[in-house]
Amino acid sequence: MSQRIVPAVLLVSGILLFGACGPAGDQSPGEGNSESADASSEPAYRIPVRIGPVEEGAETHFLGEVLPDLRVVVLGGAPTNISGLTKGRPFVIAVRDLKCPISKKYGPLLGRKSVKWRRDGVSFLYINTTLADDVEAMNRDRELFGLAGHYIPDKDMKIARLLKATSTTEVFVFDKDRRLVYRGALDDRYGFGVDLNAAHRNFLDEALTAVLRGEKPATRATTAPGCFLDLSEPAVGDGDITFHEQIEPIVRRRCQRCHRPGENAPFDLVTYDDLLSRRGMIRYTVKNRVMPPWFADPHVGGPWLDDLRLTDDERKTMLAWLDQGCPEGDPARALEPLEESDGWSIGKPDVVLEVPEEIEVQAEGLIPYVYEVVATDFPEDKWLKSIEIKNDVPEALHHILVFEYKGAMVGRNPNSLGGLALETYFAIKSPGVEPIQYPDDRAKFLPKGMKLFFQIHYQAIGRPFKDRPKIAFKFAKKPPRYAVLCDAASTRQIIIPPGAPRHRVVATSTIPADGKILGFNPHMHARGKAFLYELVYPDGRVVPALRINDWDFNWQQAYRLEKPIPVPRGTVVKVTAWFDNSADNPANPDPNATVLFGLQTDDEMMIGYYEWVRDDGKKE
């Protein structure tokens, strides 16, 4: 009934929320122009989606100063002084957070570093400022990652405030006299929108090597991308804006689709303590419009379904509450908690199909894609009203793509299926993307006996785990008025020169019949910078339909329209993508490489999917 395929690493990263795709459209040649006349100016609406460690702007507080011999209590120990833990040796203080995704990614590496450097006489201390992390969780953190040294709960932020710690990934290096000689990132492999397989710079190793030689590190301070800390004292009592009166309803509407138990966000934002613990990160993401995740330029196209962006008033209210010290207000006015997300958003499915067995996933590093072939075994054609994909460990999921397994794909080596699968997309599960639930006049066609080909992309979360994805369907009671179709403007003729900061590639696809466009789904890899959809009508009009000014490979968004766009036969869907292959792109695997089309993350792709229906209702 089901066939399991786990080949070597293979990446087919086109992402689709909609229905099955037909041919990839007209294959236009890639263009090497640096700018585009139709969208060359720098847009005002920008979102900082990629942040790696840098020296510029780094916090330098306390550098060169001697740490007081603080009185602390370590896990499982009695009160003692810092000097009693470090015993006159160089030492490291590392900030930890069990829920911060970047901190978790660094867990295994930090554990190995602590063991390695302790052999050279370096002590390691870990501080945890998070209100939500109890003693049991901190012990689990230490044991899971093999953190050699002493773990110190710092819920009163005494140590963090003294050092002006900035984030949950920051490390501090002290010499044997307790003098701070380096503060910043452990290395540069992880950050916001940055997930490299190997580091270019190993800041902690460089600093400790210098300290053991009696020298100053060449790099004294960097920023440390992680969950940002707010070291201010919380407000006591009420204020003009309080959590239970104004903030909790906003968080319920805008955040708890993902930030609640059972969903794929790395931490919950449900209780007052949840938000108090994350107030530094909330301030950053709200101020910079990073969260809720939505990257469509608000001045182009739309309006969109599933747009979770804060309104201007909601954003001002959130920032004002943070400025006032996060007063709680009256707990009696707390909202009833949402039920834990353990069921299906589409309601009770008519059928659930799952991969044949659990998948074992490693704790860190580049995780090979997993491929599964699952038979539907339906004896007749089906029209699908709703489609939903789930997995057991949602926090580890980058995406699950499901393709129709048909035609030339059958019987082929899995390593050769990537290009073929580009034309048979079926459905997706990705953070922030809602399940498919079509209106009454639309449905997705599934031929009888069709097998489904799963591509599963996991992200390391610092611990090994097992997972078993599944897909659920609800059937339409009768054939719909419109069959949902998918096509794409794409090209494989991509040649990005080394160091190019804004390389342009263009592709087009022609609408073959009168119809309506329902939505868009762009795709690029780590060097993607910006993306533009334009509709070129037969009468010569050119209308921008969607613009993304700041591409983030970690978010595979679908942009579904509230009102479909009518398009006459012969309308051209033109897509323009820009790529940043320069060293200024912290997510760039190698700025010295000439980058071609390919299926690996360090190759590039350029695909502009669009979902549409024909006015005549045909399903082809």
Beta-strand ranges (E) seen in 329-396 are 351-354, 359-361, 370-375, 382-390
Summarised one tens digit per residue, pLDDT across range 15-72 is 333 333 433 333 333 343 333 334 444 456 677 778 889 898 888 989 999 999 999 9
Residue 540: C-alpha distances to residues 418, 519, 572 (Å): 36, 22, 10
Instruction: Give the least confident one: 21-35, 364-378, 519-533.
Output: 21-35
The amino acid present at 360, given as its one-letter code, is E
Residue 436: burial class (beta carbons within 10 Å; 0-12, 13-18, 19+): buried
Calpha distance 15→400 (Å, rounded): 9
pTM value?
0.79
Residue 308: C-alpha distances to residues 92, 256, 304, 315, 328 (Å): 41, 11, 10, 12, 24
Give me the pLDDT at residue 14, please. Answer: 31
Beta-strand ranges (E) seen in 119-193 are 123-128, 150-153, 171-174, 180-184, 190-191
Tokens representing 161? Answer: 């405030």
Residue 4 has pLDDT above 50, yes or no: no
Q: Provide Rg for the chain, Cα atoms.
A: 26
Tokens representing 11? Answer: 């990446």
Query: How many angstroms separate the most distant Cα atoms in the chain?
Result: 81
Residue 3 has pLDDT above 70, yes or no: no
Summarised one tens digit per residue, pLDDT across range 233-265 is 887 767 789 999 999 999 999 998 888 887 778
> Across-strand partners of 390?
470
Give me the pLDDT at residue 46, please. Answer: 72
Residue 306 has pLDDT above 70, yes or no: yes
> Across-strand partners of 384?
444, 475
Calpha distance 148→141 (Å, rounded): 11
Summarised one tens digit per residue, pLDDT across range 93-111 is 999 998 898 999 999 999 9
Give the count of alpha carbons within 13 A of 312, CB side only.
1
Give me the pLDDT at residue 416, please. Answer: 54
User: CA 374, 379, 380: angle at the middle one, nearest 5?
Assistant: 110
State whether the Cα torsion 23-29-30-34 is positive or negative.
negative
Q: How confident is the model at residue 521 (pLDDT cuts 50, 70, 90)?
A: confident
Instruction: Give the least confident one: 356-365, 407-416, 542-551.
Output: 407-416
Percentage of the chain modeled with pLDDT above 90: 58
Summarised one tens digit per residue, pLDDT across range 584-594 is 998 898 999 99
CATH of span 2-50+342-614: 2.60.120.230
Give me the pLDDT at residue 51, please. Answer: 84
Decide if 127 contacts 159 (C-beta within 8 A): yes
DSSP H stretches of helix in 350-444: 417-421
Give the SS3 label for residue 330.
coil
Decide if 63 contacts 221 (C-beta within 8 A): yes
Summarised one tens digit per residue, pLDDT across range 110-165 is 999 999 999 999 999 999 988 778 899 899 999 999 999 999 999 899 999 999 99
CB proximity list for 380: less than 8 A, separation 6 or greater:
448
Q: How confident is the model at residue 431 (pLDDT cuts 50, 70, 90)?
A: confident
CATH topology of domain 71-212: Glutaredoxin (3.40.30)
* Average pLDDT of span 318-333: 92
Give me the pLDDT at residue 225, please. Answer: 92
Calpha distance 400→393 (Å, rounded): 12
For 137, the enclosing helix (H) or strand (E) is helix 135-145
* Mean pLDDT over each residue of the chain, to the nearest integer: 86
Question: What residues does each domain of the chain span?
Answer: 2-50+342-614, 71-212, 243-333
